[in-house]
């Protein structure tokens, strides 16, 4: 699938990986993008940059906390009011702060579920411009392995895998014509990966933060956001429904989780 002339929403799109997603999509011919993010100041900067580089008619910022249903619904509504269509939803907004684990579940997981519901049940059927709608959900390598230092974050990212695998099935495609795919980035240079000590739950976990990068397989030179956005484009263009992609240490690869029978001890 080409993104040319399509309309996308990127949650958490005002900065970090999400903002790079918006740039990559526009460079590949996207007609317009909505950035749905809590950070109004970053949103304003992002809109100024995109307007300057691609044109003011290409972007909309909607101040949105994805964990608040009415705000997310408002971002979808404003998108179709301004751009007339909606074809691609990239659920990227996320936090990694163990002390606020209930809120983190609301943002990372419930926000993604609600966005999938809005896209598949309400907006793609009415507003997609082509044959298919696309959802890209954001997990992490922390969604594919144990992470002793950030167990509650890892839980939200494991849940995203289950959500995307279950929605990205032939049964759901038959009735929704929506491809649902997952990206699992490894450590990537953004504010999310900074100040890890203060993001751990308590002293006991804090003592382990020195081991974090070794544990999640980083080779000491975290990748930059442009590698992750290249992965996102590949996933949209080539990814099959339900597929799961890792992007780590600059490498992009698809994985096939084993059938449980193959995991028998």
* Residues carrying an active site annotation: 153
- Which range of residues in 50-58, 189-197, 201-209, 257-265 is near ligand NAD by CB under 6 A? 189-197
Residue 150 bridge partners (DSSP): none
Nearer to ligand NAD, 84 or 162 (CB): 162
Total interface residues for ligand NAD by CB under 6 A: 30
112 binds ligand NAD (CB under 6 A): no
Q: Given the DSSP bridges, would you call strands 251-255 and 244-248 parallel, antiparallel or unpaired?
A: antiparallel
Q: Pick from 192, 176, 205, 229: which is nearest to 107 by CA?
A: 192
107 binds ligand NAD (CB under 6 A): yes
Residue of 85, 188, 229, 241 that binds ligand NAD (CB under 6 A) = 188
- Which range of residues in 11-19, 113-121, 168-176, 197-205 is near ligand NAD by CB under 6 A? 11-19
138 binds ligand NAD (CB under 6 A): yes
137 binds ligand NAD (CB under 6 A): no
Residue of 187, 199, 236, 245 that binds ligand NAD (CB under 6 A) = 187
Q: Give the torsion through C-alpha atoms of 223, 237, 139, 134, to 10 deg.
A: 150
Residue of 6, 9, 11, 25 that binds ligand NAD (CB under 6 A) = 11
- Is residue 130 within 8 Å of 87, Cβ to Cβ? yes
Residues 6 or more apart whose Cβ sits within 8 Å of residue 172: 120, 166, 178, 180
CA 43 – CA 61 distance, rounded (Å):
6
258 binds ligand NAD (CB under 6 A): no
Element (H, E) at 59: strand 59-63
What is the side-by-side order of every strand in the sheet holding 7-11? Answer: 59-63, 32-37, 7-11, 88-91, 133-138, 178-185, 244-248, 251-255
The least CB distance from residue 135 to ligand NAD, in Å, is 14
98 binds ligand NAD (CB under 6 A): no
CA 36 – CA 10 distance, rounded (Å):
6
149 binds ligand NAD (CB under 6 A): no
Interface residues toward ligand NAD, by CB under 6 A: 11-12, 14-18, 37-39, 42, 64-67, 92-96, 107, 138, 140, 185, 187-188, 190-193
């Amino acid at each position: 699938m080409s993104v040319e002339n399509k309309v996308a929403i990127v949650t958490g799109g005002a900065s970090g990986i999400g903002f790079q997603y918006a740039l990559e999509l526009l460079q590949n011919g996207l007609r317009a993008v909505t950035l749905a993010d809590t950070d109004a100041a970053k949103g304003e900067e992002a809109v100024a940059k995109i307007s300057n580089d691609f044109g003011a008619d290409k972007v909309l910022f909607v101040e949105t906390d994805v964990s608040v249903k009415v705000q997310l619904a408002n971002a979808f509504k404003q998108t179709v009011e301004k751009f007339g269509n909606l074809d691609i939803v990239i659920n990227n907004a996320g936090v990694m702060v163990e002390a606020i684990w209930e809120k983190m579940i609301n943002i990372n997981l419930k926000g993604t579920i609600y966005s999938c519901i809005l896209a598949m049940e309400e907006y793609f059927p009415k507003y997609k411009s082509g044959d298919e709608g696309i959802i890209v959900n954001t997990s992490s390598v922390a969604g594919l392995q144990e992470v002793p230092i950030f167990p509650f974050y890892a839980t939200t990212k494991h849940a995203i895998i289950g959500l995307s695998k279950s929605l990205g099935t032939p049964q759901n495609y038959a009735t929704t014509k929506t491809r649902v795919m997952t990206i699992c980035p490894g450590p990537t240079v953004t504010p999310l990966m900074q100040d890890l000590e203060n993001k751990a739950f308590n002293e006991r976990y804090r003592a382990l933060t020195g081991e974090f990068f070794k544990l999640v397989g980083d080779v000491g030179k975290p990748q930059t956001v442009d590698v992750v956005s290249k992965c996102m484009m590949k996933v949209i263009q080539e990814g099959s429904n339900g597929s799961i992609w890792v992007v780590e240490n600059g490498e992009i690869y698809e994985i096939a989780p084993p059938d449980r029978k193959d995991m028998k001890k």
